[in-house]
């Protein structure tokens, strides 16, 4: 397996172009199953997860063509050859479950394997199942597969999610676009990726209101048509690279960055002593004076502090002045990076869903192991500011969510290289 070697090399300066959002693109791609006309996505990120979703869609009969160095995806689901999403593909990635709603809506049946992805805790499918059942679907679990059918098609209904699940919101919104009648989804997730999905579906002819709020209303239509849509900026990649100058010093401009995608995160950076300024091209980030100050963090659904930036924030807090308490309220098993940071000299105590980080003057390079996608990049960030060499092993997770990390950080002056395994 590949490893990444990072050597602390002082402040970082320059610009980083922020890619299209992985989580948005993985949601937008299954929308092609809702129509027999072409759907084209621009500003697509170049990631292994995108390749996996392309493989899954092709297995269902869709045509998926990657153009312009992977930044344009041209898709067409003129014919759906099968409604079975096989385990061998689905196991690689959690977002594979997002074909369930579109297949049910258009074909009135689907057989979808239970999904895989990072081992960061339970992400139950029962929220998806209950919501789709409210629309008239009949779903049972057999041999690791969800067998779903909707004789006569889905029907609009009012349903409240027991938790504001992003995936369940996306599945239901897509399914409801072709349902008969009106669907009102309450306690819906409000993430920018969902807003982006709705904007794309609306271009395809869907009738949807309320995106970005906790109540989304969908009026079902008979069919959707083709469209072209740009993928929204990746707020998690944005936040990750905002932390690079925060940890190392220097000044970095993030091209395409927007504060409205990360307001809660930006508030924490300000409290820690990090300057974030809007520019004509994006955001400029720099550490104000001296050591970063410790700040407490509680992860919450949007618009709160993103769970996908918790590991990276912990890396920043490792050398902060004072003690920071990070409380993880989204996933119960998302502190696996803490022991690896401790190998680098961090002082961290984990108890249940809470991690207490006592800032130290300096981290020291060490061999560490990546346990999941966001943990991978948190260890790289820590290595950028550590004394000596840090070897991050098992970085295959990294390629699922960050494109060309070595190239982007290297352009800022970081000493970073990939070693093929």
CB 416 within 8 A of CB 365: no
Burial of 420 (0-12, 13-18, 19+ CB in 10 A): exposed
Which residue out of 118, 200, 248, 318 is catalytically annotated? 118
How would you classify the pairing of strands 227-230 and 215-219? unpaired
CB 301 within 8 A of CB 325: no
Could you tell me the two tokens for 164?
């504001």
Question: What single-letter DSSP state applies at residue 19?
Answer: P
Upstream peptide bond of 303 is cis (omega within 30 degrees of 0):
yes
> Distances in Å between the alpha carbon of 124 and those of 96, 127, 261, 305?
14, 7, 26, 22
Provide the b/e sequence for 106-127 (b: ≥16 CB within 10 Å).
Answer: bbbbbbbbebebbebeebebeb
Q: What span, in angstroms and rounded, lies between the C-alpha atoms of 327 and 340?
A: 18
DSSP assignment of 48-113 equals HHHHHHHHHHHHTT-EEEEETTTTEEEEE-SS----EE-HHHHTT-GGGGGGHHHHHHHHSEEEEE
Query: 404: annotated binding-site residue?
Result: no
Query: 270: annotated binding-site residue?
Result: no
Could you tell me the two tokens for 421?
């395994």
118 is catalytic: yes
Could you tell me the two tokens for 335?
């502190």
Query: 22: annotated binding-site residue?
Result: yes
Q: What span, in angstroms and rounded, lies between the C-alpha atoms of 139 and 15?
A: 49
361: CB partners within 8 A, 6+ apart: 319
Q: What span, in angstroms and rounded, lies between the C-alpha atoms of 245 and 253?
A: 10
Query: 94: annotated binding-site residue?
Result: yes
Residues making up the binding site: 22-23, 94, 308, 330
Residues making up the binding site for UDP-N-acetyl-alpha-D-glucosamine: 94, 308, 330
Residues making up the binding site for phosphoenolpyruvate: 22-23
Which residues are designated catalytic?
118
């Amino acid at each position: 397996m590949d490893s990444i070697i990072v050597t602390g090399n002082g402040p970082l300066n320059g610009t980083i172009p922020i890619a299209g959002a992985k989580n948005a693109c993985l949601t937008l791609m299954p929308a092609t199953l809702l129509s027999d006309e072409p759907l084209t996505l621009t500003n697509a990120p170049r990631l292994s997860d995108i390749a996996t979703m392309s493989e899954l869609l092709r297995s269902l009969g869709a045509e998926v063509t990657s153009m312009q160095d992977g930044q344009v995806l041209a898709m067409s689901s003129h014919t759906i050859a099968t409604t079975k999403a096989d385990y061998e593909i689905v196991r690689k990635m959690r977002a594979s479950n997002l074909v369930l709603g579109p297949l049910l809506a258009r074909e009135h049946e689907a057989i979808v394997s239970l999904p895989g992805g990072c081992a960061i805790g339970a992400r139950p499918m029962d929220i998806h199942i209950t919501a789709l059942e409210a629309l008239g679907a009949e779903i049972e679990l057999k041999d690791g597969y969800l067998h779903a059918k909707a004789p006569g098609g889905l029907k609009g209904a009012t349903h409240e999610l027991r938790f504001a699940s992003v995936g369940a919101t996306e599945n239901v919104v897509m399914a409801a676009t072709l349902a008969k009648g009106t669907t009102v989804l309450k306690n819906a997730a409000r993430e920018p990726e969902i807003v982006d999905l709705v904007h794309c579906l609306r271009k395809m002819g869907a009738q949807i209101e309320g995106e970005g709020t906790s109540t989304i209303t969908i009026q079902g239509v008979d069919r959707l048509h083709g469209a072209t849509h740009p993928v929204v900026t990746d707020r998690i990649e944005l936040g990750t690279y905002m932390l690079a100058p925060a940890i190392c010093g220097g000044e970095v401009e993030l091209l395409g960055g927007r504060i409205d995608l990360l307001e809660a995160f930006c508030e924490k950076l300000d409290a820690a002593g990090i300057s974030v300024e809007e520019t004509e091209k994006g955001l400029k980030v720099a550490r104000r004076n001296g050591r970063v100050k410790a700040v407490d963090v509680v992860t919450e659904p949007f618009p709160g502090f993103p769970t996908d930036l918790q590991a990276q924030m912990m890396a920043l807090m490792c050398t902060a002045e004072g003690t920071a308490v990070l409380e993880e309220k989204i996933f119960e098993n998302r502190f696996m990076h803490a022991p690896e940071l401790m190998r680098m000299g961090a002082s961290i105590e984990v108890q249940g869903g809470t991690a207490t980080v006592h800032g130290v003057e300096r981290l020291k390079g060490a061999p560490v192991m990546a346990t999941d996608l966001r943990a991978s990049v948190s260890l790289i960030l820590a290595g950028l500011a550590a004394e000596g060499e840090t070897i991050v092993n098992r970085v295959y997770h990294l390629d699922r969510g960050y494109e060309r990390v070595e190239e982007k950080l290297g352009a800022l002056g970081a000493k970073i290289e990939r070693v093929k395994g």
